[in-house]
């Protein structure tokens, strides 16, 4: 993308984030589309990430209404669980990675990024096995959480699924446990390593690191929310946008997509086309981001009770008192035109979204008024809350 085109894209992207660019109309009123995808609605995608950033911080970082003494009662761990191997993958180092001989016999550099995530031998790669593991990953995490909770009564978590370049899921989790339980990272790793669902289990690369410092925990929260931008995608739609791309990684993704569409899920009916989401997403049925809720023994992840419902209500109150309805409709129209102009640039909407989606000038503390989203799955929930919120 040329500099002038990049500047134009940045300006359009900024304008498209002022209001929802494709709102729903329900009973004569406009409502945010609540999309998590930057190429569909940059505004709602940005608000989705910022909502979860506030919730994530409210469980592990001291704020005005969360004193340092409360945080000191707990120990925090950053747990990473990965998928097993389904075949040799080209090893392409990052800038901070050392040199390593790839399975193909060569030592790759940053100039070989087009090989990242590509199987060394696609003919022997287990595409069906990887898709099946992606489908089982949700149940595998539930089994893991249940085992951890049985071992540590005061455990709470904040969890984000992320896609690896090979098209397999892996999960990052911030665990919070009362310091009185005296937890060791090795014990957490052993419990996770022993969990299975059917024939599937976690890969060998299980990592658990303590997070004793506030700054380190805050950095981890920002990393998790940044990962949401990449994880919140539908692979089927992404592949269609790259139709005609004959790169090695695109061919790899198309093979995975083919395996996912052939996979039989519980909703499949013989002779009919199944519309279940797993067939459009490399077999995945996971909820990308989540946190533990309040229970008999734990306060839930958020130590001050922050949740998306509360944030939505605060945003609603702010917009009702500060925004004119006519101004809102005009803003939505401008945002829609800006999004359409982005799609007409020479770069694809996905490339533009990837370039600008993670630009965040500031982060908001819990309790501050800021724009957000609503749950679009339940129409009755929309009643009485005019957009934008």
DSSP states of 148-188: HHHH-TT-EEEEEEEE-TTS-EEEEEEEEEEGGG---HHHH
Handedness of CA 3, 47, 285, 193 (dihedral sign): positive
Q: How far apart are CA 91 and CA 127, in angstroms?
A: 19
Containing domain of residue 49, as a range?
3-57+306-382
**What DSSP character marks residue 278?**
G
List pLDDT tens digits, range 341-369: 766 654 444 444 444 443 322 222 333 33
Q: Which long-range contacts (CB under 8 A, 24 or more apart) does 217-221 make?
A: 217/60, 217/61, 217/76, 217/174, 218/57, 218/61, 220/78, 220/174, 221/53, 221/56, 221/57, 221/60, 221/61, 221/158, 221/174
pLDDT above 60: residue 302: yes
Strands (E), 137-292: 156-163, 169-178, 196-197, 200-201, 207-210, 289-291
- Residue 328 in domain: yes
- Residue 355 in domain: yes
Q: Taking residues 29-50, what's their average pLDDT?
A: 77
Predicted pLDDT at 357: 40
pLDDT above 60: residue 18: yes
Predicted pLDDT at 1: 43
pLDDT above 50: residue 263: yes
Range scoring the smallest mean pLDDT among 96-100, 116-120, 162-166, 188-192: 96-100
- Residue 244 in domain: no
Structure tokens at 58: 């409210």
- Residue 127 in domain: no
Choose among 288, 291, 287: nearest CA to 303: 291
Q: How far apart are CA 353 and CA 10, in angstroms?
A: 10
* Residue 154 · residue 181 · CB < 8 Å: yes
Range scoring the smallest mean pLDDT among 33-42, 243-252, 257-266, 352-361: 352-361
Band of residue 24 on the pLDDT scale cut at 50, 70, 90 = confident
List pLDDT tens digits, range 198-219: 899 999 999 999 999 889 999 9
Band of residue 295 on the pLDDT scale cut at 50, 70, 90 = confident
Domain count across the chain: 1
Structure tokens at 133: 């593991």
Q: How far apart are CA 90 and CA 111, in angstroms?
A: 13
- Residue 115 in domain: no
- Residue 45 in domain: yes
List pLDDT tens digits, range 274-286: 888 888 888 989 9
Burial of 105 by CB count in 10 Å (0-12 exposed, 13-18 middle, 19+ buried)? exposed
- Tell me the chain's radius of gyration from C-alpha atoms: 22
pLDDT above 60: residue 138: yes
Higher pLDDT, 205 or 377: 205
Q: Which residue has the tokens 């729903």?
A: 24
pLDDT above 90: residue 156: yes
Predicted pLDDT at 326: 65
- Residue 185 in domain: no
- Residue 299 in domain: no
Structure tokens at 224: 């998790």
């Amino acid at each position: 993308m040329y500099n002038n085109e990049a500047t134009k894209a940045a300006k359009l992207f900024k304008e498209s984030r002022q209001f929802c660019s494709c709102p729903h109309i329900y009973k004569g009123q406009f409502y945010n589309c609540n999309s998590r995808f930057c190429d569909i609605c940059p505004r709602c995608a940005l608000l989705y990430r910022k909502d979860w950033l506030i919730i994530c911080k409210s469980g592990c970082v001291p704020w005005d209404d969360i004193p340092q003494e409360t945080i000191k009662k707990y120990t925090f761990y950053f747990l990473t669980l990965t998928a097993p191997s389904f075949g040799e993958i080209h090893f392409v180092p990052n800038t901070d990675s050392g040199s390593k001989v790839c399975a193909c016999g060569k030592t790759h550099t940053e100039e070989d990024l087009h090989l990242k995530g590509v199987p060394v031998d696609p003919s022997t790669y287990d595409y069906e096995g990887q898709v099946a593991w992606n489908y089982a990953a949700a149940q595998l995490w539930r089994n893991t959480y249940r085992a951890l909770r049985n071992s540590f009564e005061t455990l709470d978590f904040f969890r984000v699924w992320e896609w690896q370049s090979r098209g397999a899921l892996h999960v990052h989790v911030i665990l919070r446990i009362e310091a009185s339980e005296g937890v060791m990272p090795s014990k957490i790793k052993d419990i996770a390593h022993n969990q299975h669902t059917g024939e599937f289990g976690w890969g060998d690369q299980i990592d658990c690191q303590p997070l004793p410092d506030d700054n380190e925990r805050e950095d981890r929260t920002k990393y998790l929310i940044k990962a949401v931008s990449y994880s919140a995608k539908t692979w089927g739609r992404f592949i269609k946008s790259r139709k005609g791309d004959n790169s090695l990684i695109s061919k790899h993704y198309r093979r995975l997509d083919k395996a996912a569409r052939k996979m039989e899920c519980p909703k499949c009916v013989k002779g009919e086309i199944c519309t279940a989401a797993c067939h459009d997403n490399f077999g995945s049925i996971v909820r990308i981001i989540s946190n533990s809720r309040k229970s008999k023994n734990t306060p839930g992840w958020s130590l001050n009770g922050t949740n998306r419902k509360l944030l939505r209500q605060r945003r609603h109150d702010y917009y009702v008192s500060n925004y004119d309805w006519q101004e809102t409709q005009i803003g939505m129209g401008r945002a829609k035109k800006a999004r359409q102009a982005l799609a007409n640039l020479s770069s694809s909407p996905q490339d533009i979204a990837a370039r600008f989606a993670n630009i965040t000038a500031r982060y908001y503390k819990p309790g501050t008024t800021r724009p957000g989203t609503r749950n679009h799955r339940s129409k009755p929930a929309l009643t009485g809350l005019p957009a934008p919120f």
